[in-house]
Structure 1
């Protein structure tokens, strides 16, 4: 029996579905096992996070089909409140599914957003996925089968494929198409990812791009049984891997509370791009009457921003009111060239206030895009009353 025949059988007899449900159960168990001190709010938000990641995985792994005809590339804006993994309010994302066995042409207008970074998102998916059961051993095989543990073997700036009039035109493929404008992908690449960073959303425009396959493709919106078995397996394992990977990352940050540090191993594991940014993370804990002061002299860079998150790395930022984060487009350094961010429940007498929204703990992140030099960052826990 071939692998496709085995995968087809697992879907038809219900084994693939049962496997999928068992993997989701394992994701929920991460919340039960990894909520510090069984904190009620953290536990509630943990289970909510599992459901939110399920929606994300359904969209990316089951419904998000590679383009079969010429179609627009959709740009995803951050939600007004919340968002996964310290998502910047000044950054949009593109998550465009592709079939690496095909060639695609991307065309359109560059827009005026000052920075658009692209990468070939290549997750860790073994050949046996969909063919073998993973449900009861889903956690054990995370090192081998982890859809959120992605590499980005090929990256590029959209400017590399943009002419003087702002027109974009390039080919996306594994093999060199013999054209000047070519972005290479890996045979295992599943998505074209883009990060679109703005200085001022009100005045800067989003890229308007189209993608089309260069080989004929059948217009079939319903996958076969073997393919559906594979998609169910990837979707379930993606929910589990996101939950598990971020819990591991948070445990590392908890070892040094109220400090910011580089944790590039974890950042790379979830698809981060340290090639173009300096991104430090930490775990903040601020009691009544206390404040966490974060100080740094911003290096020359394209953009920086600071954000607070809950325990599961969901953003506390409210982009409608400006609470829960601070960024270079809104903040100026003090006369001595230092930015002083004050994390506290009550407004301090000085510094850039980042409101904790009634919480006393969670994850924080400070991001610099294209810095010319590594920033020097200090943190200290003080009493609000001592801030002059």
Structure 2
């Protein structure tokens, strides 16, 4: 049974998915004239979106060639992934090729060029297979509000088809595809959260990484998904070793796997914002429903249940956290 919060947020989630789907299928549908949009941001979210990320998506055609160019800014991690977006068909988004900043040549001023196509046209290159229909750019920032963001553009290197007026047939197709995207996306992540609720409750196991990659995950990231459910008088204490890695973060989500409102509440921590036990290279995170007077405390905003996720980015190994449920009487509650 869903709580009232889960139910009303579910309806909101569907409106958000529809908003994203219309943006993707109507406003940015022309792969001959590619442009970037975002399938996850502050007010519309999909599948455990990362609060430390700025996501960019572009609809592409595997028979074309493209150039992606810009400046990396002060990004901590930057990756480019070619995908076959099948969310509207079977809820999957399989990787067709990936490259990240560690494998790219970047000029001293931060500028870069990346070619996508059958043959390389620049030093940085991703082979573009015929099935690929989406490019995903992940920009990760440890302190997103205080760092200079990357600037990324895309252009078609071939002869672009002339733009044409919207027809009734076009609009009908776009609307049908948008509704199918909503259905496929919601179905995929609802199945996930049911699995986490049954088998990952108050735990962060490794899980089947190929399963997560099939929905569009970055192959360089270990995804440790879980489901929290604890009383108002309790909190979760999550303790884990920190592997040698490029970046890590931990976040809280609602039942629909939307990250919580990171604009206004402390709902996630990362490798720069968390306070570590440097003697043993570990971190202890406290998850509570309301703010507590303790370091590394993040909150569920008052909801009793939802999903959660730990990411290890380009990690040498994959530590599994220890999670304990403790009584809130052991801590001092902050004044509201």
The answer on 1:113 being equivalent to 2:75 is yes
The answer on 1:50 being equivalent to 2:14 is yes
- SS where residue 96 of structure 2 aligns? coil
Cα separation, 2, equivalents of 1:255 and 1:208: 41
1:152: Cα distance to partner?
A: 1.0
Residue 182 of structure 2 is aligned with which of 220, 236, 239?
A: 239
Residue 97 of structure 1 is aligned with which of 59, 62, 70?
A: 59
Instruction: Give per-residue Cα distances to partners, 1:108-152, cap 9 Å, x unaligned.
Output: 323231321110021238xxxxxxxxxxxxxxxx8xx22x41111
Aligned pairs for 1:158-307 (under 5 A) are 158=101, 160-173=104-117, 175-177=118-120, 180-201=123-144, 204-223=147-166, 228-256=171-199, 257-263=201-207, 264-273=209-218, 275-307=219-251
- SS where residue 220 of structure 1 aligns? coil
1:281/1:157 CA distance change after superposition, 3 Å:
same
Range moving further from structure 2, 303-312 or 196-205: 196-205
Aligned counterpart, 1:328 = 271
Aligned counterpart, 1:39 = 3
- SS where residue 119 of structure 2 aligns? coil
Q: What is the RMSD of the two structures over their aligned residues, measured on CA atoms?
A: 2.7
1:307: Cα distance to partner?
A: 1.2
- SS where residue 286 of structure 2 aligns? strand
Cα separation, 2, equivalents of 1:57 and 1:285: 31
Question: Structure 2-normalised TM-score?
Answer: 0.87
Conserved in 1, the CA contact under 8 Å of 2:251 and 2:268? yes
Range moving further from structure 2, 232-241 or 347-356: 347-356
Aligned counterpart, 1:385 = 329
1:202/1:230 CA distance change after superposition, 3 Å:
closer
Higher RCO structure (Cα 8 Å, ≥6 apart): 1
Cα separation, 1, equivalents of 2:173 and 2:40: 29
Conserved in 1, the CA contact under 8 Å of 2:202 and 2:228? yes
Aligned pairs for 1:339-378 (under 5 A) are 339-348=283-292, 350-378=294-322
Instruction: Give per-residue Cα distances to partners, 1:50-100, cap 9 Å, x unaligned.
Output: 11101111111232133656x875678831x67332222211111012222
Unaligned 5+ runs, structure 1: 1-36, 126-141
- SS where residue 155 of structure 1 aligns? strand
1:329: Cα distance to partner?
A: 1.6
- SS where residue 105 of structure 1 aligns? strand
1:346/1:60 CA distance change after superposition, 3 Å:
closer
- SS where residue 194 of structure 1 aligns? strand
Conserved in 1, the CA contact under 8 Å of 2:39 and 2:45? no
Number of aligned residue pairs: give it: 328
Q: Which has the higher strand share?
A: 2
Question: Structure 1-normalised TM-score?
Answer: 0.76
Residue 85 of structure 1 is aligned with which of 47, 50, 66?
A: 47
Cα separation, 1, equivalents of 2:152 and 2:232: 49
Residue 26 of structure 2 is aligned with which of 62, 72, 89?
A: 62
Unaligned 5+ runs, structure 2: none
Conserved in 2, the CA contact under 8 Å of 1:318 and 1:324? yes
Q: Which has the higher helix share?
A: 1
Question: Which structure's CA Rg is the greater one?
Answer: 1
1:124/1:83 CA distance change after superposition, 3 Å:
closer
